[in-house]
Amino acid sequence: MGNIIFYILSGITLCSAFFVILSKNPVYSILSLVITFCCITAHMLLLSADFLAVVNIIVYAGAIMVLFLFVIMMLNLNEAVTQGTKSFISKLAAFISGGLLLVALVFLLKGQQIGAVDLSKLDPNFGSAQELGKILFNQFILPFEITSVLFLSAMIGAVMLGKKDLKDN
C-alpha cells in the first residue's frame, strides 16, 4: 500500500514540476510549485520525518511561495511574457543546459539500486526535532552559523534596496 501511495505522489510531483517549467503564466507556475512542495512534504511524511514535513510546508509552501507571488505581482511579469519572445540563442542555451543536467542526472543515478526503501533500518528517532537539533548543532554548527550571517546580510541588503532615498524628495 505504501508503494502505491509513493508512486501516485511521485507522479503528481513530476507532473506539477513539469507544469512549473511549461506554464506561460507565472502565477500558474507558482501555484503548481506549491503543489510540488506539498507532494514533497507528503513524501517526508511517508518517511516519518514529521518535523521536516511541517517545516517544509510552513517555510516553502507558505512563506516562500507568498513572497514569489508578491514579487511577480509587483513586477507585473505577465505583460513581459506576452510582449517579448525568446531569441534563438536563449532557446539554444536552455536546451544545452537542460541536456547537460540530464547527462549529469543519468551519470549520478547510474548503478543505483531501484526499489522500496526499508524503513526498519532507520533510527526510530529519524526525523524528530530533537535528533535534527543534535545533528545540526553538533556536526554542522559552522555551516549553520555561516548561513545565519548570510541571511542577515541578505535582509540588510533587501532593506537597503527597498528603502527610498530621502534626497530624491
CATH code, domain with 30:
1.20.120.1200
Q: Is residue 146 part of a domain?
A: yes
Q: What cell was used for 169?
A: 524628495
H/E run at residue 91: helix 88-109
Q: Give the pLDDT confidence of 69-126 residue by residue, as tens digits.
A: 777 777 765 555 555 566 888 888 888 998 999 998 888 888 777 666 676 777 777 7
Q: Give the pLDDT confidence of 153-169 residue by residue, as tens digits.
A: 888 877 777 666 656 55
Distance of CA 41 to the CA centre of its chain: 11
Q: Is residue 66 part of a domain?
A: yes
Q: Residue 87: its pLDDT value, please?
A: 80
Q: Give the pLDDT confidence of 10-43 residue by residue, as tens digits.
A: 999 999 999 988 888 888 888 898 899 999 999 9
Q: In this model, does residue 151 exceed pLDDT 70?
A: yes
Q: Residue 114: its pLDDT value, please?
A: 67
Question: Which of the two residues, 61 and 107, has the higher pLDDT score?
Answer: 107
| Total number of domains constituting the chain | 1
What is the extent of the structural domain holding 45?
2-91+121-168
Average of pLDDT values for 131-157? 85
* Residue from 7, 37, 8, 6 nearest 20 by CA: 37
With both helix axes pointing from N to C terminus, report the angle between 65-75 and 26-46 in degrees, rounded to the nearest 10: 170
Q: Residue 140: its pLDDT value, please?
A: 87
Q: Residue 10: its pLDDT value, please?
A: 92
Q: What cell was used for 128?
A: 524528530
Average of pLDDT values for 133-145? 86
pTM above threshold 0.85 = no
Q: Is residue 82 part of a domain?
A: yes
